[in-house]
Amino acid sequence: METAQLIQIIAFVVINMAVFYFGGKKFYNIYKNVNLGKDKVIEGDRSERLKNVILIALGQKKMFKEIVPALLHLAVYLAFLITQIELIEIFIDGFTGGHRVLYNAFTELSFLKGIYVLVVNSIEILSVLALFATFVFLARRNLLKVPRLVRSEMNGWPKLDANIILFAEIYLVTCIFMMNGADQALHNNDYPFLLSKGFSNIVLSGLSEGSLHIIERVGWWGHILGVLAFIVYLPYSKHLHIMLAFPNVYFASLKEKGFMSNMPEVTNEIKLMMNPDTAFAAPADGTEPEIPTFGAKDVQDLPWTNLLAAYTCTECGRCTEQCPASQTGKKLSPRKVMMDTRDRLEEVALNIRENGVFVDDGKSLISDEYVSVEELRACTTCNACVEACPVMISPLDIIIQLRRNLILEQSNSPEEWNVMFSNIENNGAPWKFSPQDRFNWANEE
């Protein structure tokens, strides 16, 4: 084995070990963060959940309500998926010091070689389509300024994060064609890769063998280092949804839209009230009575499925775009609710890692810093945000739980709501008269 090959192998192994250590550590922290949420029983038919994963997470069914963005996103998505196949060979080459190990292994096996050539040509075609889509996405965000992509919650890191990934896509496609194109030129266009052959003939013709070798190595290393950097970067980015969309869709509620679950704490209290024998029963074995909590004040009070959804959020803004409260100028943005939940969860998790246990920091998810009272009151519970989300996230579920805490524990509700609550409690209806008296006007002469 040549010295250069040995150096490549050692460097490749060291870089991969570092990437999977630091990336894996962050992924593990996210796993622990999600588990800070309350337990939740996952109900519903397993086959229906798997069907949703195939159609919605993998097939992107809900994206196609807007055909043009859906097709553009599909080009990037397919390019990403199929490129992972080529990465298998790159990793084999990196760990063995070889060059196109799979292609050479399949030379005598026409069927496998045909599949290999089909995959690489598909990658190149999809990469060009993804490159076109990337330029369109950059224009939509930075030049056309599509309203749902430039709201206030997208200022700062969210906007930068989106642009970083788009420029990274351009970088990776460039590296692919540098690698394949220079390799074509070095081997007299013997590889049956159509687009890279054209790239080689147009852009790289006339270059010396040494220059072509440098370009091929820069493309190869540039591509794999870009991919490895993406692995480390991914858990800090909204693009984590490319992984978490699958479990999120699987665990998403299968109940009809508009369903609101009862609070077990309220149900238990009512049962105690209806049974005088247990209503004021002393706690068993002299234990302290458990004080029930209502709704959610902070991220630890939410079910783990809501926390998983917060990390899954794509920040696409379709929920906010469809929200009637947002459309009428109110402060509410369902996307911001998900982003605030994720940011607060990161803050709480850091607090726990630094102190061993959570130390009260005087903050909560219900606050002007995160989800404000004004935002919670603006929600009409219409489910438009739930219907719009391409990965089955329900911002409404979080909003309802926060609003329940706001009303039942903090007694923080407008006077108009309090009147309605009182009427429902006393009359069984939102009005000041009982349901039996509603139609008395019809008997009046």
Which residue ranges in the chain fall short of pLDDT 50?
A: none
In this structure, are residues 192 and 117 in contact, taking their beta carbons and an 8 Å threshold? yes
Phi, then psi, of 303 in degrees rounded to 5: -65, 155
- Whole-angstrom Cα distance, residue 153 to residue 145? 14
Look up residue 117 and give its two tokens: 């050539």
Q: What is the DSSP string of 103-163?
A: HHHTTT-HHHHHHHHHHHHHHHHHHHHHHHHHHHHHHHHHTS--GGGSSGGGTTHHHHHHH
CB hemisphere CA count around 405 (13 angstroms): 22
Distance CA 35, CA 21 (A): 21
How far apart are alpha carbons 196 and 213 in whole angstroms? 15
* 61-70 LR contacts (CB < 8 Å, sep 24+): 62/389, 62/390, 62/391, 62/392, 63/390, 65/388
Greatest CA separation for the chain? 107
Q: How does pLDDT run across 395-418, given as a tens digit for each residue?
A: 999 999 999 999 999 999 998 889
Nearest to 348 by CA among 32, 15, 23: 32
pLDDT of residue 122: 93
The two tokens of residue 295 are 């709704």
Provide the pLDDT for residue 264: 82
- The predicted pLDDT at position 268 comes to 78
Beta bridge partners of 366: 371
pTM for the predicted model, two decimal places = 0.91
Angle between helix 157-186 and helix 67-96 axes, rounded to 10 deg: 60
Question: What per-residue confidence (pLDDT) applies to 13?
Answer: 95
Pairwise CA distance, residues 272 & 157, whole Å: 50
Of 194, 213, 217, which is closest to residue 93 (Cα–Cα)? 217
The predicted structure's pLDDT at residue 179:
94
